[in-house]
Amino acid sequence: MKWRSLEESSPATAIRPLGEIFAERKALIAKYVPAEIQAIHARTVERLQSENIAQRTLPVGVPAPSFELQDHNGKLVSSARLFIDHTKIVIIFFRGRWCPFCVGQLEAMNLIAPEIQKAGAALVAISPQTVKQSFFMADQHKLRFPLLSDAGNQVARHFGLVYSVPDEQRQVYRSAFVNLPFANGDEGWELPIPATYILDREGTVVYASANADYANRPEPADILAALATT
């Protein structure tokens, strides 16, 4: 139950636009995934869009909830502690290691992690998957920032990102060996929509990007630009 990336990320890897990487993955899905399965995923995205879930997420200008979560090594990481050593926090909410678009995004963010650090910011990624799943993901993709396990999507819920996976999509995931109860350690069948936030030292949201379409995420270059201007 893991996505083998098109290329392993490393400090020496040339940075490509995330949109280009996602286009390649969409092409592979279009080629190899049956049309009826693609239609189920499309219906889920359309439903979330019609419900305006992205418009109900935490916006710029409001205080973000504090958090204390285990990283992929089982170490507690708190927002309060991160602000002791950093002026800002970049938070990536993602679905899990089984999602090819999540893998692509985190690999792309991995390449700019040193630039984020130079900007005085901390980078963390939050998902509902268990600590063990996060460890496997960090190890496989050589990620150099903490992957935090948000059991029960409690933090993501405070950001307004959580939705229940519809029954028809649950069947698809089961058939593709995406066992969310196992991966997330609960029977909730809930996921966050992908989102990226930047918090300033006071814990206020100064940048927010959330999208019901899991294949639409901000470019790493845009995150760096936002760090420089917020």
Span 139-156, average pLDDT: 97
Tokens of 105: 């995004």
Packing angle, helices 100-118 and 220-229, rounded to 10: 30
Kindly tell me if the per-residue pLDDT of 8 is higher than 80: no
Cα 119–chain centre separation: 21
Per-residue pLDDT tens for 155-187? 999 999 999 999 999 999 998 889 999 999 999
What separation in angstroms does the CA of 205 have from each of 21, 97, 199, 227?
Answer: 28, 26, 5, 12
Task: Identify the pLDDT of residue 130.
Answer: 98
Nearest to 102 by CA among 163, 16, 22, 38: 22
Span 183-211, average pLDDT: 97
Query: Is residue 2 very low, low, confident or very high in pLDDT (cuts 50, 70, 90)?
Result: very low
Query: d(Cα 106, Cα 114) in Å, to the nearest integer?
Result: 14
Nearest to 80 by CA among 188, 172, 203: 203
Span 217-230, average pLDDT: 95
At 71, give phi and psi (nearest 5°): -85, -175
Taken in order of first residue, the domains within the chain and their CATH numbers are: 18-229 (3.40.30.10)
pLDDT, mean over the chain: 93
CB 109 within 8 A of CB 196: no
What separation in angstroms does the CA of 10 have from each of 15, 99, 111, 114, 118?
Answer: 10, 20, 7, 12, 18
Question: What is the value of pTM for the model shown?
Answer: 0.92
Query: Is residue 14 very low, low, confident or very high in pLDDT (cuts 50, 70, 90)?
Result: low
CB 82 within 8 A of CB 89: yes
Query: Is residue 1 very low, low, confident or very high in pLDDT (cuts 50, 70, 90)?
Result: very low
Tokens of 53: 């879930």
SS3 state at 196:
strand
> Which DSSP category does 62 fall into?
S
Per-residue pLDDT tens for 82-92? 999 999 999 99
Query: Is residue 9 very low, low, confident or very high in pLDDT (cuts 50, 70, 90)?
Result: very low
At 126, give phi and psi (nearest 5°): -120, 130
Cα 132–chain centre separation: 17
Tokens of 67: 């958090």
At 223, give phi and psi (nearest 5°): -65, -45
Per-residue pLDDT tens for 95-139? 999 999 999 999 999 999 999 999 999 999 999 999 999 999 999
Kindly tell me if the per-residue pLDDT of 7 is higher than 60: no
Kindly tell me if the per-residue pLDDT of 62 is higher than 50: yes
